[in-house]
Structure 1
């Protein structure tokens, strides 16, 4: 397996690339080392190709290390969702025994920074471009959205991180880590600026949900506000998205939620043309005796009787008289390009964001109403939760079931919530210490900074516990 370039090597290559002419347009499936050069932004045809390449790099840089696959797989094992039944080279995630030398950690860090550098190069290229100002403003907003999305996962996976805002090799190769709050401030700034310039319809994208719109910026902002404890802003932003039934609605048929252009999708990434890495990792081949990844008992038994999500999003493989449940949200292992897309942001999350924000603001009845919207689609009765304590439990349950093995939502939730019995620790400490015993340490909430990156930039510090 080819190791991804370190983020600093990437910058050096970019610096060299901008001195040469662009020999080949950036295609949808551009390789990770094909860089955006200034000559790309001389006309809209090549600029559009560069923008599509930006999305492509985020969705399909290398098998198993795109944002969706890496966070969905790795975080599900780090949390309490899955374990890898077949291979032992993922055991360090399950056992929370990661090291700074681990390839997969390096791959995730490098993928996120490659996405950031691609977005930065697009922003820089457009700033000096002779293209029409309106076009440049919209495309710059797309790049800012993608930069914000990548930084969101970077700070949630690794904590403090260098806030790289340019392609200047002299500055970026020596940058120390910036605090999580500083990075979050930039995420909010990028998204606020993007929402004002992105299109409010899907018309420019042929009716497809595969590029950022103002609604995608609003949806991600709602999540960011929630994570930062800005309850009113989170409620307001989620409401803005929910109140657009002309574009988004909950799919009653749960088997259609993850299909291409699903109306529940606010933003989708186009999977690989011939396969979905999530399906290929989670769904067992017909000849395989067991799945690669199996749902942990605690998650499987958490589904209520009659929950349609269990029927539609969980598969069962039986071997030796034993049933092995596995994630089956994505199931098309070939020919997926026109059938199934990765859901990056979807409407049900906005209801649960608003429910949590309303609960925090003691708007208990309204919070219950939002929870019930998600439960009704799952074929379940209304929640009995009526106060802060019971609603907290109800929201955790719905988020756990609705978003299992999806973009690491459970892992990120456990790390951001305070404990139930002991609010001085995180919910991750409560849940995972009980589940994993001595394999869990409080410092495991962040992955290690890859050693290769520290070797390349001595101003980078390591996370505690590694």
Structure 2
């Protein structure tokens, strides 16, 4: 039923080397064609740098600026559609034939292919600047690790592709999550050693990876693995860079952590010569209404929480009755000021990662200090909790408040802490089974590769 001869037609047929032209001020190298051979691309610094930019441009795609928020938000207890209509994500009844899940899988592997292309091409070149080559390979490894983080957390066991050779990659079996995480950690550790420590080479735009982006993602990965001391250490490494990174103390529109190149941003995705984001223009809004509501928006926040005041809005029906609370972290719909960028790593996460790690390491005072930085920024009182379990519950709540509708944090937090079943099984609009914790391997991938096994429950 699954034909091996189709291996060249699907799984990595989307692995086209794309995105070789620039975007934004720091990504403005032009090439004569986006079909240039590797031999041509990796003979000059300008074209090699453009190839690295192409990896970032492969992230200007539906998963990274839309589905990572909306699909993961709906499969968790976070987002519900304003129109009240059920869909396969909100009910957790996603079929293996779902086109969006198939696209997500493909977009993540497309980024990985482009990263592998850069790693191989730069490594083989004898004409490129040596120092720049180390940085380019490091950037590619970071972006490969970032993509694999989502692949293994959404699908579990996935093919671990570290080559552009389709004869090797097309029929790879799935690797278990420990193996994928080992590759992620290896890539990030090597990237951290060779990435720049500031944004000078990027014209001060926070749109390409630095050492601190690698350290931030390592902190997250170590937290997910339960390695508390290393999670705290990597988080601290970033938090100590106070000349570059500072927590935003005012969450109003003109000073939010989603404005381009703000002090809290560690890494943002640039778009094509526009000063608005897809999140602000289409993902969370629909004309003057809203696409999504926060399921627990009316009870999630404490009174006067600045995040509710500045990052949400009440949605009313035709009778002017409030029907719910909508996420509005991104404000600018079509070219308004200030310029915003889709933000994939920011400083607040590092405080909450370290707080959780410190509780696990029995550093209660240190955990309180980190939690209070986030609470005080939201205009809330210091926590006085000292019990470890209560502090962990508070950290989970602060993560829910801080990262709602943002990069799938809520879905991933419920998974890694073992809270999915107890949280989602009681929601009457969901048809919840424990196997829903993993998304289905897309049906076209299964057809193309007989060595892939569908996740349980599909």
Q: Do both share a fold (TM > 0.5)?
A: yes
1:447 is matched with which residue? 439
**Deviation of the 1:282 alpha carbon:** 4.1
1:277 is matched with which residue? 278
Where structure 1 has 5 or more consecutive residues not aligned to the other structure, the ranges are 18-23, 418-425
**Deviation of the 1:281 alpha carbon:** 3.2
**Deviation of the 1:325 alpha carbon:** 1.6
**Deviation of the 1:317 alpha carbon:** 2.7
Instruction: Give runs of aligned pairs for residues 10-49 of structure 1, distance below 5 A.
Output: 10-11=14-15, 25-28=20-23, 37-38=37-38, 39-49=40-50
1:234 is matched with which residue? 231
Instruction: Give runs of aligned pairs for residues 103-182 of structure 1, distance below 5 A.
Output: 103-129=99-125, 130-182=127-179
1:69 is matched with which residue? 66
Distance in 1 (alpha carbons) for counterparts of 2:234 and 2:64: 24
Distance in 2 (alpha carbons) for counterparts of 1:242 and 1:340: 23
Tell me the SS of whatever aligns to 1:93: coil
Which one of the candidate residues 91, 101, 108 is aligned to 1:95? Answer: 91
**Deviation of the 1:42 alpha carbon:** 1.2
1:304 is matched with which residue? 302
2:219 is matched with which residue? 222
**Deviation of the 1:6 alpha carbon:** 4.3
Which whole-Å deviations, capped at 9, do the CAs of 1:170-201 have from their partners, x for residues lacking one? Answer: 11110010000000000000000000000011
Contact 1:76 1:411 in 2 (8 A): yes
Which whole-Å deviations, capped at 9, do the CAs of 1:310-348 have from their partners, x for residues lacking one? Answer: 011002232222223211111211127970011111111
Distance in 2 (alpha carbons) for counterparts of 1:52 and 1:262: 21
Which whole-Å deviations, capped at 9, do the CAs of 1:23-70 have from their partners, x for residues lacking one? Answer: x9534399xx95674111111111121111211111x13xxx132421
2:356 is matched with which residue? 356
**Deviation of the 1:436 alpha carbon:** 4.0
1:52 is matched with which residue? 53
Change (3 A) 1:416 1:293: same
Which whole-Å deviations, capped at 9, do the CAs of 1:283-314 have from their partners, x for residues lacking one? Answer: 4344x4x3111111x24311000100001100
Distance in 2 (alpha carbons) for counterparts of 1:102 and 1:308: 38
Distance in 1 (alpha carbons) for counterparts of 2:35 and 2:72: 29
1:190 is matched with which residue? 187
Where structure 2 has 5 or more consecutive residues not aligned to the other structure, the ranges are 1-8, 25-29
**Deviation of the 1:10 alpha carbon:** 2.6
Tell me the SS of whatever aligns to 2:456: coil
TM-score for the superposition, normalised by structure 1: 0.89
2:3 is matched with which residue? none
Tell me the SS of whatever aligns to 1:458: coil
**Deviation of the 1:128 alpha carbon:** 1.5
**Deviation of the 1:383 alpha carbon:** 1.1
Change (3 A) 1:169 1:337: farther
Distance in 2 (alpha carbons) for counterparts of 1:91 and 1:267: 32
2:80 is matched with which residue? 83
1:462 is matched with which residue? 454
Distance in 1 (alpha carbons) for counterparts of 2:312 and 2:444: 38
Query: How many pairs were matched up?
Result: 435
1:379 is matched with which residue? 379
Comparing 144-153 with 309-318, greater Cα deviation is found at 309-318
Which whole-Å deviations, capped at 9, do the CAs of 1:361-416 have from their partners, x for residues lacking one? Answer: 11111111110010000000011321111111110110000000100000000000
**Deviation of the 1:438 alpha carbon:** 6.0
Distance in 1 (alpha carbons) for counterparts of 2:262 and 2:226: 30
**Deviation of the 1:262 alpha carbon:** 0.9
Distance in 2 (alpha carbons) for counterparts of 1:157 and 1:25: 29
Which whole-Å deviations, capped at 9, do the CAs of 1:177-228 have from their partners, x for residues lacking one? Answer: 0000000000000000000000011111111111000000000000000000
TM-score for the superposition, normalised by structure 2: 0.91
**Deviation of the 1:85 alpha carbon:** 2.4
Tell me the SS of whatever aligns to 1:267: strand
Distance in 2 (alpha carbons) for counterparts of 1:465 and 1:37: 43
Distance in 2 (alpha carbons) for counterparts of 1:236 and 1:317: 42
Distance in 2 (alpha carbons) for counterparts of 1:447 and 1:337: 38
Change (3 A) 1:128 1:105: same
